[in-house]
Structure 1
């Protein structure tokens, strides 16, 4: 009996090892890796009509679906969301317009209310992996963001190429072109100055938000936005996969981290690097050199099981290090913690540099 049990356990263990090895092999291929990293085929809004935002809890024509064009020719599905007070002031006129995916958003009243208001603020929302603009907690997030100033804050959110109703296939280079297209639309078509635009990213979207903020800060002449907010950011793709656990329990690649040579070899197959640690340092350094006033905010829950909280202190160090001409060590930053940290009890803590 004991021998039979041992044999069963041995066979099961061998099968699991074989399946894991197969998974690792597939992970080195571009197509499989893309699906694992971006999860773009998991829409989570299969049975809802994105062209009718009211089904997601918005008022009629408070949110307008429309199409943006990326510079590589991809069609990007987007929502513009009116702040509640602006909607109420113009409710009757807005209710007269049809609810539809519009081919020319510039002809809509919602666009005019954005473009013609000199006090309007615009949040460009970069969502994370999985889903669409209407998935899960994203819709409540839009409302929360706009509620900061319900008479001024508009929200523009969109699906990257390969997500939802957007065309194409996701890649780091392609998504960065998407982000640039959205920023250019906001500045040049909607006429919103960068000083009235907030870049907001969550999870995977933090890598996009950091990259686009860095790109504009380093161009000539430099462009600096009102702020960049990163919710649950990660150091880079390689570090994320080494720490990621499904539902916070099942490790994906962390077992390999105990074998540095093998793990480093596998990391070499990761095509889209999403190196936020490098870009955040470049962004800070560029603004420091240019003498620009900038605001970078990082927010992370300590019990986040998707993106471990440990990524944020590392990113904070990279940002702070870029402000010091001679650099600052981790130990030196730790010594300054008591000076820059404010404990808020159950609400967490804040460190400001």
Structure 2
């Protein structure tokens, strides 16, 4: 996949954005602070810090005349969502504004949203290692300004789930424990996205290449940026929530199922491999194979709790080493608006203790 396709940073929706006037996009007066974040490799990222609704309304004067003066207190008083967006548009994109307002009001959280290098008014050119550095710079900025690690929930959407997984794995490797990681409409890897993505919701990207011997494999081997979230999953040690809409026509929900199963598989009996000569198996051999499958299903049913919510979807959950792994399958939300579904927000709030603030 060419870099210009994976990173649609040239699509600066909305065009001619007024980043220094977030009120233009419907945010409350002086509730959102426009600022810069410097990275370890000297890039400068545009960012918005959105004060949580309860904190904003508790200020002596609303709107405040100098909102930046309250960032440190807000970080120490309310939890903060560190939000990483998808591969196109900027932090001023309408769908993202709806996420800021939903998280700051329903979850009573501050929201910190950056534009990756090359996006919006940020400097540089996007690469996978570069976005990982951007994510760490945003994390470090929050810590430097008064946030405790356990008060920061890392939330990624689409491409941002790959960024979130990279940051979550890096922090876990260093023994740092954020509040948790949320993956909205994630992919298991860019390679798998190539297999499942439908252009205009209909046309398979890879199907035409299937007619050319080895063409598809060549394209995948040529990938520079892999964002292989599935391989990062075992390194993330804290609680994780994965959410996907069944009507997501850009990234199928099977990617989320794969990630959830990657967390779950180590707790289950090994999956039996179907022999290559399956047609010649005896009745006894088939019985043994099916018996092993049944034991695996039974073990899964004992570990995973499944809750069906009428007209909303399904919530799957299990606890491992004291931390929760949750998979939300919603009926609606599509690709861009999954995180503004109140049902999804409620599960996030309950899983990560937002409602006990």
- Using structure 2 for the length normalisation, give the TM-score: 0.77
Large movers: runs of 4+ above 3 Å: 257-260, 326-339
How far off is 1:329 after superposition? 6.8
Structure 1 Cα separation of the partners of residues 97 and 133 of structure 2: 24
Structure 1 Cα separation of the partners of residues 270 and 51 of structure 2: 44
Structure 2 regions of 5+ residues with no counterpart? 274-292, 319-357
- Count of residue pairs brought into register by the alignment: 296
How far off is 1:110 after superposition? 2.9
Q: Counterpart of 2:204? A: 251
Does 2:145 match 1:180?
no
How far off is 1:120 after superposition? 1.9
Match of 2:161 among 195, 203, 206: 206
Over the residues paired in the alignment, what is the CA RMSD in angstroms? Answer: 2.2
Counterparts of 1:107-122 in structure 2, within 5 Å, are 108-115=68-75, 117=76, 119-122=77-80
Structure 2 Cα separation of the partners of residues 124 and 329 of structure 1: 40
Counterparts of 1:1-353 in structure 2, within 5 Å, are 33-90=2-59, 92=61, 94-97=63-66, 108-115=68-75, 117=76, 119-150=77-108, 153-187=109-143, 189-219=144-174, 222-257=175-210, 261-283=214-236, 287=237, 294-322=238-266, 334-336=297-299, 338-339=301-302, 340=304, 341-353=306-318
Structure 2 Cα separation of the partners of residues 142 and 240 of structure 1: 27
Do the aligned partners of residues 47 and 329 (structure 1) sit closer, same or farther apart at CA in structure 2, a change above 3 Å counting?
A: farther
Structure 1 Cα separation of the partners of residues 296 and 200 of structure 2: 32
- Using structure 1 for the length normalisation, give the TM-score: 0.78
- Look up the SS of the partner of 2:251 in the other structure: coil
User: Which has a greater percent of strand?
Assistant: 2
Structure 2 Cα separation of the partners of residues 43 and 212 of structure 1: 25
Whether the aligned pair in 2 keeps the contact of 1:241 and 1:254 (CA below 8 Å) is no
Structure 2 Cα separation of the partners of residues 264 and 299 of structure 1: 29
Whether the aligned pair in 2 keeps the contact of 1:94 and 1:109 (CA below 8 Å) is no
Structure 1 Cα separation of the partners of residues 251 and 88 of structure 2: 14
Deviation digits for residues 160-211 of structure 1 (CA, Å, limit 9, x no counterpart): 0010100000000000000011111111x12211111100001110011011
Structure 2 Cα separation of the partners of residues 52 and 333 of structure 1: 55
How far off is 1:327 after superposition? 5.6
How far off is 1:88 after superposition? 1.8
Do the aligned partners of residues 335 and 232 (structure 1) sit closer, same or farther apart at CA in structure 2, a change above 3 Å counting?
A: farther
